[in-house]
Amino acid sequence: MPYLNTRDGTALYYKDWGTGRPVILLHGWPLSADSWDDGALALAEAGFRAISYDRRGFGRSEQPWEGYDYDTLADDLADVIAHTGADDAALVGFSMGGGEVARYMSRHGGAKISHAALVASVVPYMLKTEDNPNGTQQSVFDDMTAGMKEDRAKFFASFFQDFFGIGLFGNATSDEEVHHAWAVAMQAGLKPTLACAAAFATTDFRPDLAAFNVPTLIIHGTKDKTVPIEASAHAAVDGIKNATLIEYDGPHGLFATHKTELVADLIRFLKT
């Protein structure tokens, strides 16, 4: 299997499909690059080079004890870009992956990036504070941590119900798709799972928004219970210059529930 080593020696598993202008796909928590397979295949068939990788601690990548803060994760992304020689690339971040896009744009100056897309992204700030009243209460994240520590398998069985909008959107996602997501989530280490949950819950990306110096597409579900749209996409489109927002009538897991529409919108955006 193809691996690359980051600057601190962590081995990351990656996929590199197709030829053409690179599109780097960053997955959400607590999944792996496999969650982007449908989109990656469609992008490759449309003439793009689709690159995806398992975040450290998840999927087939190594599970070090340290390195689950967004500065390190953005450095990992920089190392992926360098290793694959991805010039004039587009970054597409789903959920937690949107934070890596934002931090890369600020920490690495958006080097070699031509387009950015945030899909159901945690950007700019999930936590409810006095100056972020639409955010999520800290108690919600505390309950998530407690649930994972007590019985992670049971926690994720419930978590993915809201993630995919089960019961809200009919049969938009099959039982098998939900089970696959659960199985992939259970591949991740407990330490990375907890540490990354803390990172996306508490990292404030509002200072990073000014670093978006490329055309940016934001896609979000209006009924997203995992990352509510008000504190995320609505705030992000206000803070990012040259950003466009597309709202779907859908939940969080748009890569599965709205995959045809999502890929079409991404390809249309990337061709502009």
CA 126, CA 242: separation in Å to the nearest integer? 22
The average pLDDT across 64-76 equals 98
Q: Which of 54, 79, 224, 265 is catalytic?
A: 224
The DSSP element (H or E) to which 116 belongs, if any, is strand 113-119
- Nearest 5°: CA angle at 257, between 24 and 33? 30
CA 244, CA 269: separation in Å to the nearest integer? 10
Q: Which of 27, 115, 252, 258 is catalytic?
A: 252
Q: What is the CATH number of domain 3-270?
A: 3.40.50.1820
Dump pLDDT digits (tens) for 182-238.
Answer: 999 999 999 999 999 999 999 999 999 999 999 999 999 999 999 999 999 999 999
pLDDT at 208: 98
β-strands 11-17, 49-53 pairing: antiparallel
Q: If 0-12 CB within 10 Å is exposed, 13-18 middle and 19+ buried, where does residue 268 land?
A: exposed
User: In percent, how much of the chain has pLDDT > 70?
Assistant: 99
Is residue 59 within 8 A of residue 33, CB to CB? The reply is yes
Contacts of 171 (CB under 8 A, 6+ apart): none
Is residue 15 within 8 A of residue 34, CB to CB? The reply is no
Determine the number of helices (DSSP H) and then strands (DSSP E) in the chain.
9, 8
Q: Is 32 a catalytic residue?
A: no
Contacts of 100 (CB under 8 A, 6+ apart): 26, 70, 73, 74, 76, 77, 93
- For every residue of 86-113, DSSP letters joined together read --SEEEEEETHHHHHHHHHHHHSTTTTE
pLDDT band for 170, please (50, 70, 90 cuts).
Answer: low
Q: Is 224 a catalytic residue?
A: yes
Sketch the domain layout of the chain as residue ranges.
Answer: 3-270
Contacts of 47 (CB under 8 A, 6+ apart): 18, 19, 20
Contacts of 97 (CB under 8 A, 6+ apart): 25, 26, 27, 28, 55, 121
- 218, β-bridge pairs: 118, 245
The DSSP element (H or E) to which 84 belongs, if any, is helix 70-84
pLDDT at 167: 82
The average pLDDT across 143-153 equals 98
- What Rg do the C-alpha atoms of the chain give, in angstroms? 17
pLDDT at 215: 98
Q: Is 61 a catalytic residue?
A: no
- 90, β-bridge pairs: 23, 115
Q: Which of 95, 106, 121, 232 is catalytic?
A: 95
What's the mean per-residue pLDDT of the chain? 97
